[in-house]
C-alpha cells in the first residue's frame, strides 16, 4: 500500500504548512536526503515545561501533532508522501523540567505516527533530549532527516 493510501486509510489530516518563523526554509534536499527544519506544535496551548506544567500524555499528543506538520512539509517538498523512501533520523527536543527523564515517551508521539503512516519505512534512528527552554515555551520541537526516491 502506498504511503498516501495508508495516510488516507488512517484518516490522518495533514495541516497547512505554516510560514517559516525566521530566516530559514522548511527543508533542504541534498542528493537523496531531505533535511527538515525543526517544527513545534501549531496548537497555541502546547506551551510549558513537560513534567510540571504539561503531562507526558499531553506532550505525546503535541509530538504527534508535530509529526503531522513534518509530514505536511514532506508532502509539500516532494509532491507526494509516496516519494518518502525511509525516515532516517528524528531529533526530538522536549521543553523539560530539570528533573524530567521521560523524553523518549514524549517523542514516541511522533515516532509512533511515522511507523503507523510509513510502516517499516517509518522506523528510524532517534535522539530524544530535554532542553531548558524552547522558542515561545513550546513543549516539543522535532526535526527529521528523510531518504527520498
Sorted by sequence, the CB contacts under 8 Å of residue 11 that are 6+ apart come out as none
The half-sphere exposure of 96 on its side-chain side, counting CA atoms within 13 A, is 19
Residue 20: inside a domain, yes or no? no
Residue 84: inside a domain, yes or no? yes
Residue 23: inside a domain, yes or no? no
CB-based burial label for 69 (10 Å; 0-12, 13-18, 19+)? buried
The structural domain count of the chain equals 1
How far, in Å, CA of 15 to CA of 18, rounded?
9
Sorted by sequence, the CB contacts under 8 Å of residue 64 that are 6+ apart come out as 109, 110, 112, 113
Domain span at residue 96 reads 3-12+38-148
Residue 93: inside a domain, yes or no? yes
Taking the model in full, what pTM does it have?
0.97
- Taking only the tens place, the pLDDT of each residue in 101-118 is 999 999 999 999 999 999
How far, in Å, CA of 63 to CA of 46, rounded?
10
Residue 44: inside a domain, yes or no? yes
- Taking only the tens place, the pLDDT of each residue in 27-71 is 999 999 999 999 999 888 899 999 999 999 999 999 999 999 999
Amino acid at each position: 500500500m502506498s504511503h498516501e493510501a495508508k495516510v488516507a486509510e488512517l484518516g490522518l489530516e495533514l495541516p497547512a504548512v505554516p510560514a517559516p518563523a525566521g530566516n530559514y526554509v522548511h527543508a533542504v534536499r541534498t542528493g537523496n536526503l531531505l533535511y527538515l527544519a525543526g517544527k513545534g506544535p501549531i496548537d497555541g496551548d502546547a506551551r510549558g515545561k513537560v513534567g510540571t506544567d504539561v503531562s507526558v500524555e499531553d506532550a505525546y499528543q503535541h509530538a504527534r501533532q508535530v509529526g503531522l506538520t513534518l509530514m505536511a512539509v514532506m508532502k509539500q517538498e516532494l509532491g507526494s508522501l509516496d516519494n518518502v523512501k525511509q525516515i532516517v533520523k528524528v531529533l526530538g527536543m522536549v521543553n523539560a523540567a530539570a528533573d524530567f527523564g521521560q523524553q523518549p515517551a514524549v517523542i514516541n508521539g511522533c515516532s509512533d505516527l511515522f511507523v503507523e503512516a510509513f510502516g517499516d519505512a517509518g522506523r528510524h534512528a532517534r535522539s530524544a533530549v530535554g532542553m531548558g527552554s524552547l522558542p515561545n515555551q513550546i513543549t516539543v520541537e522535532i526535526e527529521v532527516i528523510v531518504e527520498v526516491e
